[in-house]
Amino acid sequence: MGSAFDPLVTATEDLAAVNSAPPLSNLTQEELKKIAAYKAVEFVESGMVIGLGTGSTAKHAVARISELLREGKLKDIIGIPTSTTTHEQAVSLGIPLSDLDSHPVVDLSIDGADEVDPALNLVKGRGGSLLREKMIEGASKKFVVIVDESKLVKYIGGSGLAVPVEVVPFCCDFTRGKLEELFRDSGCVAKLRMKIGSNGEEAAPAVTDNRNYVVDLYLERDIGDLEVASEAILRFPGVVEHGMFLGMATTLIVAGKFGVTVKDRFG
Ligand SMILES: O=C(CO)[C@H](O)[C@H](O)COP(=O)(O)O
C-alpha cells in the first residue's frame, strides 16, 4: 500500500467517522476501490461464513480478509467464492473455503457492482460471474456492495454499458433476438459477449464458469419497472439468470473524491 494511501484507510477505520473522512480527490480509481473494500471488511467477524465477490474491487476485500487472518485479527472464517477466479485467489491466500451445499446460510457477502441505482438495485456480471454471485449473495444475511463513485447511476442501464444475461449456448442467437425484442421500446441492442483473441479480434463466445454464454443488453432508455423486466427476462427458457440484483444489497459503500459513504438499505 502506498504511503499516501495508509492515512486514509486509518481515517475510515471507525464506522462513525466514515462520513467525515477527508476528501480522496488525489486517489486513483484503483485506490478508491481498495478503500471501499477495506471498509467493508470491517463488517467481517471471526466465525463468519463470508461470500467472496468477484472483480477488481472485491479482490481487495479477499486480500484484506486473508491479511487479517494471517495477523490473527480474524479467526475461523469460511469463504464461499463466487467464481473460479476468486476461488483461485482465495486458495493462493490460504483462506479456508466451502460452498453453499455445505454452508447454505452465508453471514455476509462482499462484492463489487457495475451499476448501483438510488434504491441500491445493482447491475452485476460484466465480469461474467453473475449466476454464482446471485446464488451466494442471495443466500446471505447481509450483502455489502463496494464501489467507487463511477458506478452510481440514475437508473439501471444508465451507464450506457451492458446489463448482462447468462444464457444457455443452445440457439443463443434465438434467445439474444428475443431479449432485444423484449426491450425494443428502450432502444435495446443485445449482443453475444465474445472473447477477444491474441490478435485483438473477437475469437469465440465468452464462456461463464457454468459453461454458459452471456448476452449483453445495451439500453438507450430506462426499462421501467425492474421487477416486471426481471420476470419477463427469466420467462425465456434459454435464459439462466440476469445481472440485475434487485433488493439484494443491504449496505452500499462508495469511495469517491469527497470521501467514503456507507448507506444502509434499512437505515
Ligand atoms: O459482477 C461482477 C463480476 O461478475 C463484478 O462485481 C462487477 O463486474 C464489478 O467489477 P469491478 O469491481 O472489477 O468493477
In this predicted model, what pLDDT tens digit does every residue of 17-74 receive, in sequence order? Answer: 344 455 677 889 999 999 999 999 999 999 999 999 999 999 999 999 999 999 999 9
DSSP 18-46: GGGPPP-TT--HHHHHHHHHHHHHTT--T
Q: Cβ contacts of residue 54 below 8 Å, gap of 6+?
A: 81, 82, 83, 85, 86, 111, 112, 127, 129, 132, 133
Alpha carbon of 127 to ligand 1 centroid (Å)? 5
Residue nearest atom 10 in ligand 1 by C-alpha distance: 55
Pinpoint the alpha helices (H) of 99-184.
130-138, 172-182
Cβ neighbors of 81 (< 8 A, separation 6 or more) are: 52, 54, 87, 89, 90, 97
Question: Which DSSP state fits 172?
Answer: H
This prediction has a pTM of 0.90
pLDDT band at 90 (very low <50, low <70, confident <90, very high): very high
Our answer on whether the CB atom of 126 is closer than 6 Å to any ligand 1 atom is yes
- pLDDT > 90? residue 128: yes
- Which atom number of ligand 1 is nearest to the Cα of residue 33? 12
Contact (CB, 8 A) for 175 and 239: yes
pLDDT digits (tens, 9 = 90+) for 133-173: 999 999 999 999 999 999 999 999 999 899 999 999 999 99
CB-ligand 1 contact for 157 (6 Å cutoff): no
Would you call 133 a catalytic residue per the annotation? yes
Residue ranges of domains in the chain, CATH in brackets: 25-152+247-256 (3.40.50.1360), 163-241 (3.30.70.260)
User: Which cell numbers in the block locate residue 139?
Assistant: 443466500
Longest dimension (CA), the chain: 55
Per-residue confidence (pLDDT) for residue 267, from 0 to 100? 65
Find the 112 Cα to ligand 1 centroid distance in Å.
5
Cβ-contact 4, 244 below 8 angstroms = no
Give the pLDDT of residue 22.
Answer: 59
- Is residue 133 exposed (0-12), middle (13-18) or buried (19+ Cβ within 10 Å)? buried
From the CB of 115, is ligand 1 less than 6 Å away?
Answer: no
Q: CA gyration radius for the chain?
A: 19
Please write the tens of the pLDDT for every residue from 178-193.
999 999 999 999 999 9
Compute the distance between CA of residue 175 and CA of residue 215 in angstroms, rounded to an integer: 9
Catalytic residue among 31, 115, 133, 241: 133
Give the integer Cα–Cα distance in Å for 125 and 245.
Answer: 10
Q: From ligand 1's centre to the CA of 102, what distance in Å?
A: 25
